[in-house]
Amino acid sequence: MVEASKVDLLIVNAGQLVTCAGKRGRPKVGEAMLDLGVIERGAVAVAGERIVAVGKSGELEREVELAPDVRVVDAGGRLVMPGFVDPHTHLVFAGSREHELELKLSGVPYLEILARGGGILSTVRATREASLEELVAIGLKYAEEMLRQGTTTAEAKSGYGLNTEDEIKQLEAVREIDARHPIDLVPTFLGAHAVPEEYAGRGDEFVDLILEDMLPAVRERGLAEFCDVFCEEGVFSVEQSRRVLERAGELGFGLKIHADEIKPLGGAELAAEVGATSADHLLAVSDRGIAELAARGVVAVLLPGTTFNLRERHYAPARKMLERGVAVALASDFNPGSCPTNSLELIMTIACLYLEMRPAEVINALTINAAHAIGRGHMIGSLEPGKQADIVIFDAPNYEYLCYRFGTNLVYKVIKRGQIVVEQ
Ligand code: NIG
Ligand code: FE
Mean pLDDT, residues 6-17 taken together: 98
Q: Cα–Cα distances in Å, from 378 out to 23, 25, 50, 191? A: 11, 6, 13, 28
3-state helix, strand, coil in the chain (%, to 5): 40, 25, 40
Ligand nearest to the CA of 110: 1
Our mutation pick for probing the ligand 1 site, out of 339, 341, 342, 347, counting the most ligand atoms within 8 A of Cβ, is 339
Instruction: Report whether residue 90 contacts ligand 1, using a CB cutoff of 6 Å.
Output: yes
Q: Is the pLDDT of residue 127 over 50?
A: yes
d(CA 412, CA 284): 38
Our mutation pick for probing the ligand 1 site, out of 338, 342, 347, counting the most ligand atoms within 8 A of Cβ, is 338
86, 87, 90: which is closest to 123 by C-alpha? 90
Ligand nearest to the CA of 261: 1
Residue nearest ligand 1's atom 1 by CA: 333
Residue nearest ligand 1's atom 6 by CA: 338
Element (H, E) at 339: none
What's the pLDDT band for 117 if we cut at 50, 70, 90? confident
Ligand nearest to the CA of 111: 1
CB under 5 Å of ion ligand 2: residues: 333
Instruction: Give the pLDDT score at 181.
Output: 98
Instruction: Give the pLDDT score at 1.
Output: 42
Instruction: Report whether residue 333 contacts ligand 1, using a CB cutoff of 6 Å.
Output: yes
Atom of ligand 1 nearest to the CA of 281: 1
Instruction: Give the pLDDT score at 4.
Output: 59
Instruction: Report whether residue 337 contacts ligand 1, using a CB cutoff of 6 Å.
Output: yes
d(CA 373, CA 298): 8
Instruction: Report whether residue 119 contacts ligand 1, using a CB cutoff of 6 Å.
Output: yes
Q: Is the pLDDT of residue 267 over 80?
A: yes
Angle at 208 between CA 205 and CA 210, to 5 degrees: 115
90 CA to centre of ligand 2 in angstroms: 6
d(CA 417, CA 424): 18
Amino acid at 69: D
d(CA 55, CA 129): 52
Q: Residue 359: exposed, middle, or buried by beta-carbon count in 10 A (0-12, 13-18, 19+)?
A: buried
b vs e for 397-414, b when ≥16 Cβ sit within 10 Å of the residue's Cβ?
Answer: ebbbbbbebbeebbbbbb
Instruction: Give the pLDDT score at 2.
Output: 44
Return the percentage of the chain with pLDDT > 70, whole number: 99
Mean pLDDT, residues 349-374 taken together: 98
Atom of ligand 1 nearest to the CA of 93: 10
Q: Cα–Cα distances in Å, from 147 out to 29, 258, 280, 372? A: 27, 25, 23, 20
Contact predicate 342/147, CB 8 Å: no
Q: Is the pLDDT of residue 250 over 50?
A: yes
Mean pLDDT, residues 152-170 taken together: 98
What's the pLDDT band for 337 if we cut at 50, 70, 90? very high
42 CA to centre of ligand 1 in angstroms: 40
Instruction: Give the pLDDT score at 5.
Output: 82
Instruction: Give the pLDDT score at 404.
Output: 98
Atom of ligand 1 nearest to the CA of 333: 1
Instruction: Give the pLDDT score at 424.
Output: 84
Instruction: Report whether residue 335 contacts ligand 1, using a CB cutoff of 6 Å.
Output: yes
d(CA 160, CA 5): 44
pLDDT in tens, 55-107: 999 999 999 999 999 999 999 999 999 999 999 999 999 999 999 999 999 99
Mean pLDDT, residues 33-60 taken together: 98
Ligand nearest to the CA of 160: 1
335 CA to centre of ligand 1 in angstroms: 6
273 CA to centre of ligand 2 in angstroms: 21
The half-sphere exposure of 280 on its side-chain side, counting CA atoms within 13 A, is 26
72 CA to centre of ligand 1 in angstroms: 43
84 CA to centre of ligand 2 in angstroms: 18
Instruction: Report whether residue 336 contacts ligand 1, using a CB cutoff of 6 Å.
Output: yes
**Pairing assessment for the beta strands 38-47 and 7-18 based on DSSP bridges:** antiparallel
Ligand nearest to the CA of 156: 2
What's the pLDDT band for 115 if we cut at 50, 70, 90? confident
Mean pLDDT, residues 277-302 taken together: 98
**Pairing assessment for the beta strands 50-56 and 38-47 based on DSSP bridges:** antiparallel
338 CA to centre of ligand 1 in angstroms: 5
Displacement of CA 278 from its chain's centroid (Å) = 11
149 CA to centre of ligand 2 in angstroms: 20
Ligand nearest to the CA of 310: 1
Instruction: Report whether residue 86 contacts ligand 1, using a CB cutoff of 6 Å.
Output: no
Return the percentage of the chain with pLDDT > 90, whole number: 95
Mean pLDDT, residues 196-211 taken together: 97
d(CA 156, CA 147): 14
